[in-house]
Amino acid sequence: MDLVDDGCPGIFLATIFAVPLGLICGLSKTFNAAINPIVQIMKPVSPLAWLPIVTMVISATMTDPDPTLPKSFVISAIVVMLCSLWSTLINTAIGAASIDKDLLNVGKVLRLGWFAKLTRLVLPSALPYIFTGMRLSLGVGWMVLIAAEMLAQNPGLGKFVWDEFQNGSSQSLARIMFAVIVIGLIGFLLDRIMMLLQNFASRNRTV
């Protein structure tokens, strides 16, 4: 499936970058004030704008005629990451900032170190916000991947829809509608999977 081939690495990279940055933003007002303008500027940028930029950069840097990873894979993963990380970052920052101050005071009384405070107090409290952001990012990533397949002509549902549109046969509309339904169902399934992970993590959190 295309999400596994191209989308999952992009979502994974987005989470790796967004969660730590979001936690720092939530815990540090100074860092949040510094990075917030960048987030607000980058968040609305469309994948239609990112795709040609990423394509040119990757094409210029990946000069090996037989690269380990296909260029289309790298381009799709980076575009998905750039477009989907903001929801997770913002929600994580909100979750970290909204932690009960009494918990932080307890941490001071117990003289918990920075890492212990982060793992035992902040992360468990921010977990619902983090998963909400990840669910939003997953939905955005799936949409971006379909758009990237259309524009870059990478194999997948997006390319199928575009090819049928260009074909213009009497059966094209029905095929496009079927593809749209499949895209929606896959998005729904991915959201359900993320909800199951959220429920599992919530039952096992320490706070």
The domain 2-203 having CATH identifier 1.10.3720.10: the answer here is yes
In this structure, what token pair is assigned to residue 12? 């994974």
DSSP letters for 151-181: HHT-SSHHHHHHHHHHH--TTHHHHHHHHHH
The residues near 177 (Cβ < 8 Å, ≥ 6 apart) are: none
Q: Where are the domains of the chain?
A: 2-203
pLDDT tens, 123-142? Answer: 888 888 999 999 999 888 88
Residue 117 confidence (pLDDT): 79
What is the rounded CA–CA span in Å between residue 133 and residue 150? 26
Residue 8 confidence (pLDDT): 75
Which residue did the predictor score with more confidence, 10 or 41?
41
The rounded mean pLDDT for the chain is: 84
Average pLDDT over residues 116-120: 79
pLDDT tens, 82-105? Answer: 999 999 999 999 998 888 777 777
Residue 20 confidence (pLDDT): 92
